[in-house]
Each structure stands twice: as C-alpha cells, then as structure tokens.
Structure 1
Amino acid sequence: MARNVEIKARLTKRSELEDRIVPIADSGPIVLKQIDQFYRVAEGRLKLRQINGEHAELIFYRRSDAAGPKTSDYSRVPIVHPDQLSQLLTSALEPLGIVSKTRTLYLVGQTRVHLDEVEDLGNYLELEVVLDPSQTEVEGSEIAKNLMQTLGIRSEDLVEGAYIDHLTR
C-alpha cells in the first residue's frame, strides 16, 4: 500500500491562502471536479471517485480520524466503467453517502496541496505528504507541520475525520 501523511483544515480566507501557495508551488493550479461515493466496509474507508466526468478510481484507505498530521495507507485502482461498478457496489455494500467537491490542486515538493470547495460544507485545505518507501511517518509529519507554518494554518483550524463524516452527522 502507498502511504501519505495528511492534514485537513477549515478555511476562512481561501484567497489569502492561495496567494501564499502560488509562489512556492512547483505546479498547479489544476481544477478537478470530484464526486466520491462512500461505502461501508469492515475497516477503513472505500470510495468510488469520479473525476471531471472523465476518469474514475476505486480507493481504499485506512487512517486515524484525529485532527493534525496522520498517516494514511491507501490503494487506488483505475476504473473503466464507474457507473456499472457503482451499481455493483451499491448492491453488495451499504452506501454511506456522496461527497461532491471542486478541488484545486497544487504540488509543493512531495506534497499535494488541495483547496477543496465541498458542497454543503464549505472550504477546506488538505495537505497530503506522499511518502516514498524509505521515509518515516515522523518525516512526513515534519514536512506537513513545516508547510502548515509556511501557509499560516493554525492547529485550531484542523478538523477530524473525512468530509463524509461531516456530511452525515
């Protein structure tokens, strides 16, 4: 499984944050319209993601729901027929809900910086420090913390859980 270290924070001043990201970004912005269908599984999370109505992938991941840097172990598989897979998964598993968002993606070093506008929730920042196999979780957490400091993200801005948790409460 691949690994990353993630944080999620609520945003109040998206444009100001974007002004801090642009000068340090290696690439971006890339705008992605994502629709994630979540399904109940015994452990972790399973979602079928459709991207810009053109691509799809099935994603399984495990991570803590704590606020602050946390490790996520994940697997992704490209999907050719997302509508048929959605029907199959809905027949076999309990659907939990759908998260629709517009994601603006920047890359800063090995970190994916996501500015997410989540339908019915608002604006969020996600940092995903993609770890290479030789890196420790501690190293990834330090990278995330340093980038949080550079971007002015405070610990009180951090949120727990996944977007689906906030939508289904």
Structure 2
Amino acid sequence: MRRNVEVKARLRALAAARGAAERLGGAARAQGQGLVQADTFFRVPRGRLKLRRTPAVLTQALGVLGMVRKERLLYLVGQTRVHLDSVEGLGDFVELEVVLTEEQTVEDGERVAHQLMKELGIEEEDLISGAYLDLLLAKGDSSS
C-alpha cells in the first residue's frame, strides 16, 4: 500500500517556487505538467465525495457542497510530487506529496518534506491544514 507524507502551504511567490521546482527536478523534468482541474464536492452524510468529471448525475442526486477550480503545475522532485496550484478565489499554494518507499518511516518523509520546504521558501507560518474547499467555505464562497 502506498504511503505519502503531505504538506500544503500558501505560496508567497509562485514564480520563485516554479523556478526552484524546475531547478530541483533536473533537466529532464524541468517543465511542469500543466493541469486545469475543477473538483465538485457533493453533500454526503460523512466524509467527502469529490469528482473531477461528469458530475451531473450526482449533482441531481446529492446536491453540490462546493466547487474548487485550480490551475496546477506538477513537478517531480526525487520521490516527491510538487504541485503548484493557483486556486480561483484563494490564491497560490503548494502541495508536497512525498511518496514513501517500504523502508521509509513517516519521519523520513517529513524530513524530505521539510528540506523541500526550505528549498521552495516555505515557512512554518505558511502551512495550512484542510482542503481548498474548507478555505472557500470559510470565506463564504463555495462556487469558485
């Protein structure tokens, strides 16, 4: 079973983070893969139900809790997926997903994440918890 250590933070400088991710990813991975995503979250009794495509049937059956629209650049830096996200209505963020090997502990993954945080200029006070939807709902905006 795959295990990840994940970190999410606000980005102070998207261009600087992009430059660092390109440099750290190496020449073969210098260009980030661009993705445009619209995630629809549905009203469910517990947990979250998110869908990226064909939400019409679930919209009718469950109702929509909110939508998150983002442009994402994906970089691979060693064993880590670096997502640079521009989220409509919220701003710029970074998500780090350190994919652990079977031999690695969570603490090993946290060390990798903290080193990348330094390289990308992410400070402890930039860290956030929760999903983008939570931030939008807290602002009173679930339509973004």
Q: TM-score, normalised by structure 1?
A: 0.71
State the AA in 2 paired with 1:38.
Answer: F
Q: Which has the higher strand share?
A: 1
State the AA in 2 paired with 1:33.
Answer: V
Q: After superposition, what is the alpha-carbon deviation per residue over 1:135-163, rounded to whole angstroms, capped at 9, x for unaligned? A: 32222211111111222211011112110
| Alpha-carbon distance change, 3 to 90 in structure 1, aligned in 2, over 3 angstroms | farther
Q: Does 1:31 align with 2:34?
A: yes
Cα RMSD of the aligned pairs, angstroms, is: 1.9
What residue number does 1:153 align with?
Answer: 122
Unaligned runs of 5+ in 2: 139-144
Q: Displacement, 1:113?
A: 0.5
Q: Does 1:168 align with 2:137?
A: yes
State the AA in 1 paired with 2:39.
Answer: D
Distance in structure 2 (CA, Å) of the matches to 1:40 and 1:2: 28
Distance in structure 1 (CA, Å) of the matches to 2:35 and 2:73: 6
Secondary structure at 2:35 match in 1: strand
| 1:19-168 → structure 2 map (5 Å cutoff) | 19-26=19-26, 27=29, 28-49=31-52, 82-83=53-54, 86-168=55-137
Q: After superposition, what is the alpha-carbon deviation per residue over 1:3-48, rounded to whole angstroms, capped at 9, x for unaligned? A: 3111111112111122222111142311100011112445443211
Unaligned runs of 5+ in 1: 50-81
Farther off after superposition, 128-137 or 117-126:
128-137
State the AA in 1 paired with 2:96.
Answer: L
State the AA in 2 paired with 1:131.
Answer: L
| Alpha-carbon distance change, 3 to 42 in structure 1, aligned in 2, over 3 angstroms | farther
| Alpha-carbon distance change, 90 to 109 in structure 1, aligned in 2, over 3 angstroms | same
Give percent identity, aligned residues only: 51
Distance in structure 1 (CA, Å) of the matches to 2:40 and 2:106: 28
Distance in structure 2 (CA, Å) of the matches to 1:36 and 1:3: 23
Q: TM-score, normalised by structure 2?
A: 0.83
Distance in structure 1 (CA, Å) of the matches to 2:68 and 2:111: 29
State the AA in 1 paired with 2:74.
Answer: L
